[in-house]
Amino acid sequence: MEDTRSKAIRRTLSTIVAITILVSLIAPVVSGAYESGGADEKIGVLVVAHGSPSESWCSPVRNATDEMDLPYPVELGFLEFVPNETINLAVDRLDDAGVTKIIAVPLFISSHSSHIQEIEYVLGLRDALPLTTENVVVEGMEIERTVTQKGGQYIISRVTLEPDTDGDLQATGHPEEDPLVPVETDSEIVLTAAMDDHWLMAGIVADRTADLCTEPEGETLVLVAHGTGEEENFAGWVNSTSSLADQARLKLLYWRDPAVGLGGTKTAFIHHNETLHPEFTLEPIVKNATDPVVVPLMVSEGYFTGKMIPGLLENLTCAYDGSALTPHPNVAEWIEIVAAEEFTDLTLRIDDETGELLDISLDDVGAAHGHICPCVAAAFKASQTAFLAWDGVLARGDLEIVSAHPSDGHNETFEYILNASEDVTVELPEGTDSVNLTVENYNYKFIEKSTGDVVVVSVNEELFQDGFFEMRKRCKTGVATPDEKSAFKLAKKELKEKILYLPAEEVFKVSGGGGALSPEELFKSLAGEWAFEGSMILGNDIIPINGTRTFTSTGPVSADFIVAYKMGETETAETGSAWWDGEREQLAIKEGDEIEYSNLTSNGYESRAVLKDGIPELNISVAVVSEESLTILDDMTQVMKWSAVNMNGETLCSGKLTFKPVAHKTATTLTADIIPAISMTVPTTTVDFGKVGAGMTSANQVITVVNTGASSAKVSAMMLDDAGCFYNESLRLNGGTIGGFSSVLPSDTSDFIYEYDILTNLVVPDWAGGKYDGTILFVAESES
């Protein structure tokens, strides 16, 4: 049976030229998609959730964390109720992974909560906590939750409340106590904001609302959240929840097909001071709303969504299904983006023409322009992405930028980076101007003057919401309604954050580079049969690998391939196809159902991928960054290298293969039919003159001779077996005696056959009588 190492090698050798065990599930990342703040800084992400005794509440939260796609270790920790998955244990795991900076993302509805303060304390971001007491409901049970101090340590104390004979709630039983213990770590910790009114959360609310709406317009969204009894935090809850409801309304009206026109939005809370804020009480809001659609603003489904809110809505007419924020893909994307805001490197480096290297930040450019708008963000990130396509540092004065966008934000950003206006030009696509823009205007060409190398960066169309440019036009021409202006303002904010914080390959298409191979050149270089040999280093093992790669072109930029290799006693062959994906501007390799992509370089191609689950086939269970490259050294040599590096910077696996074209050894059987210079045949084997009278002349007969040689030949004749010399005296050849016969036969080199007919007869002497037999011999010799 094939062992796991063989399976891993087989899987990698099945790719066309990417003979690497590290080709994974994700598309290679464009270099610089995510960059941390320093070479020695190792990022880890900590997702913090509240927790619940109910597994059904915790499970969707775990799933959301698992769905994240970041090139860094990610751990989940609960504030309470889940003793085996605490914040402290999660931080310990990140420390074990070697991280030096932890970005903590609170998966909470609002930043305005004493729970956030408790998280800050556990993470070592504050030294003291306010002592609080509140009545909460945990899985249907009334609980008095208190944060208190005992022996210099903060404690969360929970005690069950039950009504006494007068109906007043009283504490019963012994309190359950959990200490709040600060984490022990040397890592820097940064805590981001909670969900609040982020546009991704508004997208979930819009989806939940659309699922409940039955009419195209007129219904009322009632967004109900937990809220807080802490008056100092209540305004924050009101502002963020109201903002989410209004964003959802605008998304449904302008960015959804078919549109849903809500008649209005309302905000309600379950837990708040009803005496001070009766306008936020759920029941009267629903009772007085027109066609209310009630959406719970809760992290996960549980007691509140399944019991408490339905109980409050009992006997009221409304639409409600209890769907919380999870499960929804926006939750994982939100964690990724808010974490990326902390670890994304928003600087680029350029030579200032004097040899001094300058680091220019987005904040520098924003300060020069006045603010960071989507245009500044797009121009800066496009420049950062383009610069990474060159091996060295570009220099001011040696770079020209041609932009297709006419905005001041773009032009001033490019001019600030180059410190020159003459090196920035605008070439508008046909049919566009400052009012009438399309996605084609988000295209930028970077030209290195000294080499002529060109990199073209363009924003992916998918980043723009349908109708974005038409809405922009309405705002620019002054015909937009107040709602349209608000919707476009929100769309611009969303676009800016996507440009800045999504991975670069999701934001941009990049083509060209510092002398990058053309797709045609690459496919031409790979064509044919190549033998390879090398090894893979895995732990302490060095595993030899050898085999062949056969690359058969099916077009200028497409091919089928077969890769056969041997490792130990295992022999495997895999087939697949490769092509140039013009839309992605990447090399595509398909083997089985998976398609993987690589970027062209000046002498081959390269790719980078993050394997969050490691490489199970090689018993590597930690997240690794895999990198691979194929370098075409010359017409006779290609080198493939690959590596898998964990988040501590340790190389867990690496390999190298050298390719040489196969020199085919085939035996050729040589045959030749050499025609001699002098060669002749006489097809006429018998001549019968019949009965001829003495003193008479016979009828003419023909003797055919054939020159089958390579040269002309002189032909003569003599008699053999001539009794009584009858034929010597009587035989005539072409009218002459046999002794006087001579003729030159030319050679026909087209087929080496030249036929010549000799007329022959008998002039019978008077003395002859009887039957005569004889043999004539024709002789061929060189004409010279």
pLDDT in tens, 441-489: 999 999 988 888 888 899 999 999 999 999 999 999 999 999 999 999 9
pLDDT > 70: what percent of the chain? Answer: 94
Among 410, 477, 398, 476, residue whose Cα is nearest residue 442: 410
Residue 38 banded pLDDT, cuts 50, 70, 90: low
pLDDT in tens, 617-644: 778 888 888 888 888 888 888 989 888 8
42 vs 392, higher pLDDT: 42
Q: What pTM was estimated for this model as a whole?
A: 0.69
User: Which residue type, as a one-letter code, is found at position 485?
Assistant: K
551 strand-pairing partners:
528, 561
pLDDT in tens, 711-724: 999 999 998 888 88
Ramachandran region of residue 330, left (φ > 0), alpha (ψ -120 to 50) or beta? alpha
Distance from C-alpha of 250 to C-alpha of 207, rounded to nearest angstrom? 12
Q: Which of 272-281, 347-356, 504-513, 775-784 has the lowest mean pLDDT?
A: 504-513
Neighbours of 510 (CB within 10 A): 23
Position 94 scores a pLDDT of 96
For range 96-123, the mean pLDDT: 96
Among 392, 444, 373, 393, residue whose Cα is nearest residue 414: 444
Phi, psi (rounded to 5 degrees) for 498: -65, -45
Q: Which of 55-64, 136-145, 365-374, 556-565 has the lowest mean pLDDT?
A: 136-145
Average pLDDT, the chain: 89
Cis peptide leading into residue 258 (ω within 30°): yes
Distance from C-alpha of 451 to C-alpha of 300, rounded to nearest angstrom? 56
Position 664 scores a pLDDT of 61
Position 5 scores a pLDDT of 41
pLDDT over threshold 60, residue 9: no
Angle of the 199-212 helix axis to the 231-254 helix axis, nearest 10: 60
pLDDT over threshold 70, residue 37: no
Cis peptide leading into residue 163 (ω within 30°): no
Residue 1 banded pLDDT, cuts 50, 70, 90: very low
Residue 80 banded pLDDT, cuts 50, 70, 90: very high
For range 177-205, the mean pLDDT: 97
DSSP 697: B
For range 12-18, the mean pLDDT: 37
The answer to whether 464 touches 498, Cβ cutoff 8 Å, is: no
pLDDT over threshold 50, residue 20: no
β-strand pairing of 701-707 with 680-681: antiparallel
269 strand-pairing partners:
225, 281
31 vs 455, higher pLDDT: 455
For range 328-334, the mean pLDDT: 97
Distance from C-alpha of 176 to C-alpha of 159, rounded to nearest angstrom? 6
User: Which residue type, as a one-letter code, is found at position 489?
Assistant: K
DSSP 133: E
Of these ranges, 313-327, 380-394, 679-693, the one predicted with the greatest mean pLDDT is 313-327
pLDDT over threshold 50, residue 13: no
Position 515 scores a pLDDT of 57
Transcribe 749-781 into DSSP letters: TTTT-EEEEEEEEEB--TT--S----EEEEEEE
| Per-residue tokens: 65 | 């964390």
